[in-house]
C-alpha cells in the first residue's frame, strides 16, 4: 500500500510500477513514492526458499518403476525476471524438477540410482539452472528424500544382497583356509630347514669329536709304543714282554664263546709256555729283520744313542737295505 513513506525490510525486493509500467525496485530501508502514480506490484523475498517436490513415478533404464520425491533449495537472484518472467516461479521450478528427475532416472539402471545419488542430484540442479535462468531464479541444491521400490523388486534385491553376502563369506572362508594352509606349509618348511641345520651341526660336531678322539688315541698309542720300545731296550725287557703276552693270552680265553657258539682253537691251546715262546720268537725275528745293516750307522752319533728306542724303518731305509 502506497503511503508516500515506505520502509522496505532487509532481504526483500519491492517491485514498483508507475502508471502500470515497471518503474523501479525499492532497496531495503527508507523509500518515497508518489501517491496515485506509483504502485507496489510485487514483493519478492531474497532469502533461500525450500520447496518440497511431490512424490512421483519414474521408470529406470531397466524398466523398474520407482516412487521418488525430493527437496528443492532455490533463491531469487533477479526480482524483475522473477516478477515478469514467469507467473508462478515456485510452481514452475517444481514442475521442472519433476520432469528433469524423471528424465535423469530414465538414463540410469536401478543399481546406479542408489550408487550415483549425488551425481543424480547434481544433474537435476544443472538442468533446472539452465531453464530457470530466464526466470531470475537460481537452484542451489536438490536432495532426493525417499525412493520407494515395488515389493517384488525389493524382495529380489534382498535376495541379491543375501547371495552377495554369502558369496563374500565363502570367499573369505576359502581365503582363510588358503592362508592357513600356506602358514602350515611355511611352518613345516622352516621346521625342516631348522632340523636339517641342527642335524648338520650335530654331524659336524660329532665328526669333529671323532676326529679329536682319533687324534688323541693315535697320540696316546704313539706314546705307548714309544714307552714300550724304550722298555724293551732296557734290562729284562724280553721277560716283561713275555709276561704281557701271557697275560693277554690268558685274558683272551675269558672272552671265548660269548659272541658265537663256534670256536676254533689251536691244538696246543692249553700250553701257555709254547704260545709265549712262539710270540717271542716272532718278536725276535722282527727285530732282526728291522735292525740296520752294518756300515750304515752314523759315526757322529753319541754313545748314548744305543739306549734310545729303535725307530721304525721308513720306506727309504727298507729300499736302501734291499739295494745294498
Let me know: does 121 contact 144? Beta carbons within 8 Å: yes
What is each CA distance from 214 to 198, 206, 207, 210, 229, in whole angstroms?
24, 12, 10, 6, 22
- pLDDT value of residue 323: 37
Residue-wise over 66-85: b if at least 16 C-beta within 10 A, else e?
bebbbebebebebbebbbeb
Is 60 exceeded by the pLDDT of residue 161?
A: yes
Instruction: Report the percentage of the chain scoring pLDDT > 70.
Output: 73
* Alpha carbons within 13 A on the beta-carbon side of 134: 6
Let me know: does 8 contact 44? Beta carbons within 8 Å: no
- Average pLDDT score over residue span 184-203: 91
pLDDT digits (tens, 9 = 90+) for 110-133: 888 878 888 888 888 888 888 888
- pLDDT value of residue 279: 65
pLDDT digits (tens, 9 = 90+) for 86-105: 888 888 888 888 888 888 88
- Name the residue with higher pLDDT: 251 or 113: 113
Distance (Å, whole) CA 31 – CA 1? 13
Let me know: does 62 contact 35? Beta carbons within 8 Å: no
Give the closest residue to 139 by CA, choosing from 152, 153, 151, 129: 129
- Range in 95-99, 280-284, 291-295 with the lowest mean pLDDT: 291-295
- pLDDT value of residue 21: 87
Confidence of residue 204 (pLDDT cuts 50, 70, 90): very high
The helix or strand, by DSSP H or E, that contains position 143, with its residue range, turns out to be strand 137-148
Three-state SS for 2-58 is CCCEEEECCCEEEEEEECCEEEEEECCEEEECCCCCEEEEEEEECCCEEEEEEEEEE
Question: For the chain, which residues make up each domain, given as ranges?
Answer: 5-45, 48-149
Let me know: does 104 contact 127? Beta carbons within 8 Å: yes
CATH of 48-149, one of 3.30.479.30, 3.30.70.100, 3.30.1330.10, 3.30.430.20: 3.30.479.30
- Name the residue with higher pLDDT: 146 or 261: 146
- pLDDT value of residue 38: 84
- Range in 33-37, 185-189, 201-205, 305-309 with the lowest mean pLDDT: 305-309
Is 80 exceeded by the pLDDT of residue 56?
A: yes
* Beta-carbon contacts of residue 152 (< 8 Å; ≥ 6 apart): none
pLDDT digits (tens, 9 = 90+) for 312-323: 443 334 343 433
User: In degrees, to the nearest 5, what angle opens at C-alpha 221 toward C-alphas 218 and 223?
Assistant: 110
pTM of the model: 0.47
Amino acid at each position: 500500500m502506497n503511503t508516500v513513506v515506505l520502509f522496505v525490510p532487509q532481504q526483500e525486493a519491492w517491485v514498483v510500477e508507475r502508471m502500470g509500467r515497471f518503474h523501479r525496485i525499492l532497496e531495503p530501508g527508507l523509500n518515497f513514492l508518489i501517491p496515485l502514480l506509483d504502485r507496489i506490484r510485487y514483493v519478492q523475498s531474497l532469502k533461500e526458499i525450500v520447496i518440497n517436490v511431490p512424490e512421483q513415478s519414474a521408470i529406470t533404464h531397466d524398466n523398474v518403476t520407482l516412487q521418488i520425491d525430493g527437496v528443492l533449495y532455490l533463491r531469487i537472484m533477479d526480482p524483475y525476471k522473477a516478477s515478469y518472467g514467469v507467473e508462478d516461479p515456485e510452481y514452475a521450478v517444481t514442475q521442472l524438477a519433476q520432469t528433469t528427475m524423471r528424465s535423469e532416472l530414465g538414463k540410469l539402471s536401478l543399481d546406479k540410482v542408489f550408487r550415483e545419488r549425488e551425481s543424480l542430484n547434481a544433474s537435476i540442479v544443472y538442468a533446472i539452472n539452465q531453464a530457470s535462468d530466464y526466470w531470475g531464479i537460481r537452484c542451489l541444491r536438490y536432495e532426493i528424500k525417499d525412493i520407494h521400490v515395488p515389493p517384488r523388486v525389493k524382495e529380489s534385491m534382498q535376495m541379491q544382497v543375501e547371495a552377495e553376502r554369502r558369496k563374500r563369506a565363502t570367499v573369505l572362508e576359502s581365503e582363510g583356509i588358503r592362508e592357513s594352509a600356506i602358514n602350515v606349509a611355511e611352518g613345516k618348511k622352516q621346521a625342516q630347514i631348522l632340523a636339517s641345520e641342527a642335524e648338520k651341526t650335530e654331524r659336524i660336531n660329532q665328526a669333529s669329536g671323532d676326529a679329536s678322539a682319533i687324534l688323541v688315541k693315535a697320540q696316546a698309542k704313539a706314546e705307548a709304543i714309544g714307552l714300550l720300545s724304550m722298555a724293551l731296550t732296557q734290562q729284562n725287557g724280553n721277560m716283561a714282554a713275555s709276561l704281557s703276552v701271557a697275560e693277554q693270552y690268558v685274558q683272551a680265553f675269558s672272552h671265548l664263546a660269548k659272541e658265537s657258539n663256534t670256536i676254533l682253537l689251536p691244538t696246543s691251546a692249553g700250553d701257555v709256555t709254547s704260545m709265549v715262546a712262539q710270540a717271542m720268537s716272532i718278536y725276535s725275528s722282527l727285530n732282526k729283520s728291522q735292525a740296520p745293516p752294518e756300515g750304515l750307522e752314523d759315526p757322529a752319533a753319541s754313545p748314548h744313542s744305543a739306549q734310545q728306542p729303535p725307530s721304525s724303518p721308513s720306506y727309504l731305509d727298507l729300499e736302501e737295505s734291499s739295494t745294498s
